[in-house]
A and B are shown apart, each in its own frame.
Chain A
Amino acid sequence: MITPSATELLAEIADSLTAMLPEQRWFAGKGRPVRGVSPVRATDLAGADPRLVHAVIEVDQGEQHRDRYQLLLGVRSDLPDNLGHAWVSACGDQAVYQAIYDPDLTAVLLELMAQGKDLDGLRFLAEPGATLDPKQRSRPVGAEQSNTSLVYGQACILKLFRKITAGRSPDLELHRALAAVGCQYIATPLGGIEGELDSTPVTYGMLTKYLRNAAEGWAMATASMRDLLAESLFTEGASGPGGPIDPAEAGGDFASEAHRLGQAVASVHADLATALGSSPAPPGYLDALVDGMHGRLDSVLRQVPELAPHEDALRAAFDAVRDLEGPVLVQRIHGDLHLGQVLRSVTGWVLIDFEGEPMAPLDARTAPASPLRDVAGMLRSFDYAANYAPLGDVDPEQRAAVTLAWTTRNQDAFCDGYAQAAPDPRKQTVLLRAFELDKAVYEVNYEYHNRPPWLPIPLGAITRLTTAHP
């Protein structure tokens, strides 16, 4: 039998792919029927049996929805049991399967990067100074939304972008820029997989150092809050049963971590400014910013009646930004900063995933912006972490007092830490508050549609932010 070419293979299994896609966690087009799948490009990366094929497919979900996805397909004449779950389709007497689950094949990617191979326009690169050990076995990381990541040994992690959009990934771009200026607060970039589609650069993958002993900021913050709630609501305190206690007195106090986190974020901002520049915002930046905030507010107001009572206060807070005097500095920023995007490693905090706001188009994600937007994102995240812990029969007022005390303490600590390495964000109250409110408006919309019981979190924040600073 003649072995089909990579492109032929892809065409042959198109129907199976059509069926498989909606079940994939990373597939962005869920909810719309998949009409068909067509190959964009396909390249053999290795071997005959097993064989590794790199593919980009275009998924047809109607006129406005033609998205491109990256696939790694394995082909074996005899698929071992432990890869049965990765099966995609039969092709002749061979099995086609998702190669990310096959360490024998994923090792090829590392090897190609180590060799700096260019295969049919698919460029595998190692970053300057990086040494890669292709003998490391990989395993996929669970629970990822839009991409697939493979951890090799305990040494490095390869993030494979699934939905392929035109333009170089800001994640790879910013990691490289930060590494070039010696930033300590990122995972060192080690390699990449890049190419062109329709003569536009695209990024397929990014390899960074794996922080094997790191934990997410979100997990750390919620552990702290859990401890505080236990101490203040379920403990007979000296001040009587269940009196709320000062978070500073609680064992799980997070403030010193929040402080160090603030320092880390400020340092990354400073390094981004060093690497890629910082300048006064161009004329019209503030007006465009405020117009955008109003625009999002308009849209959410139409959908969420609960937001109506806050409209005037929100608009006033946004409009106050127009009258700001003195230059507002803009630069490249993280763009989607929250406690889930920071890892506590044994040497300190590390920021990850510089992809920017997931839903925004590339030019918006790479446009210079005020670093206060990142600060606002983190401040909102503290509010969420404080309110996250589900609890049964707890007096809501008492709970609110405890969560507010925790939020305030940690937001302050974060800003204190930030102010040690960059200008104090609290000195730019008007702009910072507008960013926080804009983010909260987005959250209102999200919670209203997805998690109605959580709606009070952003609404409560809007009330506080608009009354605390009249």
Chain B
Amino acid sequence: MSPDGYLVEPQADDFEPATAAPTDPYWYKRAVFYEVLVRAFHDHDRNGAGDLIGLTHKLDYLEWLGIDCLWLPPFYDSPLRDGGYDISDFRAVLPEFGTVEDFVVLLDEAHKRGIRVITDLVMNHTSDQHPWFQESRRDPEGPYGDFYVWSDKDTVYPDARVIFVDTETSNWTYDPVRGQFYWHRFFSHQPDLNYDNPEVGEAMLGVLRFWLDLGIDGFRLDAVPYLFEEEGTNCENLPRTHEFLKRCRKVVDCEYPGRVLLAEANQWPTDVVEYFGDPAAGGDEAHMAFHFPLMPRIFMAVRRESRFPISEILAQTPPIPRNAQWGIFLRNHDELTLEMVTDEERDYMYSEYVKDPRMRANIGIRRRLAPLLDNDRNQLELFTALLLSLPGSPVLYYGDEIGMGDNIWLGDRDSVRTPMQWTPDRNAGFSGCDPGRIYLPVIMDPVYGYQAVNVEAQSASTQSLLNWTRRMIQVRREHPAFGLGDFTELGSSNPTVLAYRRSHLGEGDTSDDIVLCVNNLSRFPQPVELDLGEHEGGVPVELTGGVRFPPIGELPYLLTLPGHGFYWFQIVFSDAGREP
């Protein structure tokens, strides 16, 4: 501690920074993201849990797969009472994962391979073990006395809902040390930082700069709607919260161009767009935000064999600023929540979800993609094709590229956090440790077990899901329309077929890229007649095989699709690729 009572915290200068990633300010609009849990990917030091060095050793695999950016859930020092989202030191790495130096090596090696790395940053609160909080409760008059939201009464801000209703009864908890109540929107062991105190904002910007100086490519900002509190409001999405995000963005754009901020605001798209900031400025808050409602709608649409659940949510999604991008996903480390439901949508979601026992059971709980789809290869491909072609940057969840299973006997959210399955050897090649020491047992059932489902076996088979996924990522990379293009749904009289066009107008000497995606959401073969009149004279060229389909004429364009089949076409207007 310094003489004036401030804690002495590590500075970026104490470390060697990583090589910078290649410059492209809008890389995030075209990137394929990959969410990987450090603990679950590869265990280098054989202590039974994955670590940063282990992950570094697997970067060749991720480069081979075609991943552009890794998203790491928090790896900061933490008592781990909330999966690492309870951070006790923003400037240290959880010892079991390694050190800050290890992280810099990971960044360095990733950047050499053209892979970027972002991580979660929880700005709203800290662990109650964080020295800031310990100082704050100990010394109300000290420099950290005002770092948290303290009150003599637990009746302030009565309009703010309790989010974790299962475990918490109030947003206030009494602290016997300080003799006051402290404010927390989530668990009582996660006190909210007091952004009314300008020093808190400065301290958090210091944390951002610490990691940005080391070379990190961006942050997923966790729980952003709750930074500020105001009496008489529900304390969510307040204007001052947006002002602070604008400040963060300015720091990134001015001091660290090319890095990104991804907002986690589990809200309806019309509300989430606020977090992109001013459209006239091309967006001046977060670069990206997750599109939460899309994912359950994809599952619903395929289950209903109807495109409308997807069509509706996309029709209700407002345009976003020029430089902004959605993040979309099928699965991640969390369960799905339906809290983004607004009043007008509640009836819809209620009638579709709550009355359907299978939807409720499958979507609400913690399952991986493959078991959710009964391991049906056709559906796995269809879902992946939708993820890679709908508007937004796709986020893959580690292991889903090989169709990994889950272990529903594990508690909480651990069922989808089991070790990555690399080989059919001991511990699935994840760790050389004694199998009894592993942090979670590897999946061992006959269908999804590591002996049947692993990277080694699937790399060797040209027909594997892994190689298929890799190929689709390659195709996506070849076409800017997927990342940058407009989205237009092409209706048809067949409600079970979802067809859309992604079109990106070329600039300078690059040509237009028009991609047509046609998806059969039904288990049965389907015909579809598409109105492609705008592209009369064009030729659809199938993207995975390059086969030229019949040219588009005046009449509606007829396609037939096998059950759960899909097509990606590029519409071309030249004779390129044709035999002389």
Contact = CB atoms under 8 A, between A and B. Distances in A.
Given A154-B531, A219-B495, A249-B358, A213 B311 contact: yes
A215 B495 contact: yes
Interface string A134-152: 0001010010000000010
A251 B305 contact: yes
A20 B78 CA distance: 83
A252 B493 contact: no
A257 B531 CA distance: 26
A139 B355 CA distance: 42
Interface in B272-306: 303-306
Given A215-B494, A256-B352, A344 B308 contact: yes
Contacts of A248: 355-356
A227 B305 contact: yes
A54 interface: no
A360 interface: no
B548 to A, nearest CB: 22
Contacts of A457: none
A136 to B, nearest CB: 10
A214 interface: yes
Interface in A199-229: 211-216, 219-220, 223-224, 226-227
B15 interface: no
A82 interface: yes
B308 A223 contact: no
Nearest to B524: A226
Interface residues of B, number: 32
A215 B556 contact: no
B511 interface: no
A433 interface: no
Contacts of A213: 311, 315, 489-491
A259 interface: yes
B492 interface: yes
Contacts of A383: none
B315 A219 contact: no
B554 interface: yes
B357 interface: yes
Contacts of B556: 142
Contacts of A347: 312, 315
Given A154-B531, A223-B305, A230-B523, A215 B358 contact: no
A139 B554 contact: yes
Contacts of B348: 256
- The interface residues of chain B, by DSSP majority, are classed as loop
Interface string A170-209: 0000000000000000000000000000000000000000
Nearest to A420: B347
B136 interface: no
Contact of B356 (A137, A253, A346): A253
A346 B533 contact: no
Contacts of B306: 220, 223, 252, 257
A139 B533 contact: yes
Contact of A82 (B307, B496, B554): B554
Interface string A217-248: 00110011011001000000000000000001
Given A226-B524, A256-B355, A251 B495 contact: no
Given A346-B308, A347-B312, A347-B315, A223 B522 contact: yes
A260 B345 CA distance: 13
Contacts of B494: 215, 219
A253 B493 contact: no
Contacts of A344: 308, 495
B574 interface: no
Categorize the interface residue count of chain A. Answer: 20 to 34
B351 interface: yes
A222 to B, nearest CB: 10
A101 to B, nearest CB: 9
Contacts of B352: 256
Contacts of A226: 522, 524
A335 to B, nearest CB: 24
B102 to A, nearest CB: 47
A260 to B, nearest CB: 8
B494 to A, nearest CB: 6
Contact of B304 (A137, A142, A214, A253): A253
A227 B523 contact: yes
Contacts of B524: 226, 230
Interface string B480-498: 0000000001111111100
A227 B554 CA distance: 33
A346 B352 CA distance: 16
Given A253-B356, A256-B355, A347-B312, A214 B305 contact: no
Interface string A332-365: 0000000000001011000000000000000000
A226 to B, nearest CB: 6
Interface in A234-283: 248-249, 251-253, 255-257, 259-260
Contacts of B308: 215, 344, 346
A211 B492 CA distance: 10
B337 to A, nearest CB: 21
Contacts of A224: 304-305
24 contacts: A82-B554, A139-B533, A139-B554, A212-B491, A213-B315, A213-B489, A213-B490, A215-B491, A215-B494, A216-B495, A223-B305, A223-B496, A227-B523, A230-B523, A230-B524, A249-B357, A251-B304, A253-B304, A253-B355, A256-B351, A256-B355, A259-B351, A344-B308, A346-B311
Interface of B: 303-308, 311-312, 315, 348, 351-352, 355-358, 489-496, 522-524, 531, 533, 554-556
Closest 8 CB pairs of A and B: A213-B491, A215-B495, A256-B351, A346-B315, A251-B303, A346-B311, A212-B491, A220-B495
Given A151-B531, A219-B494, A226-B524, 19 more contacts: A139-B533, A211-B491, A214-B491, A215-B495, A216-B493, A219-B493, A223-B305, A223-B306, A223-B495, A224-B305, A227-B305, A248-B355, A252-B303, A252-B304, A252-B305, A253-B355, A253-B356, A256-B352, A347-B315
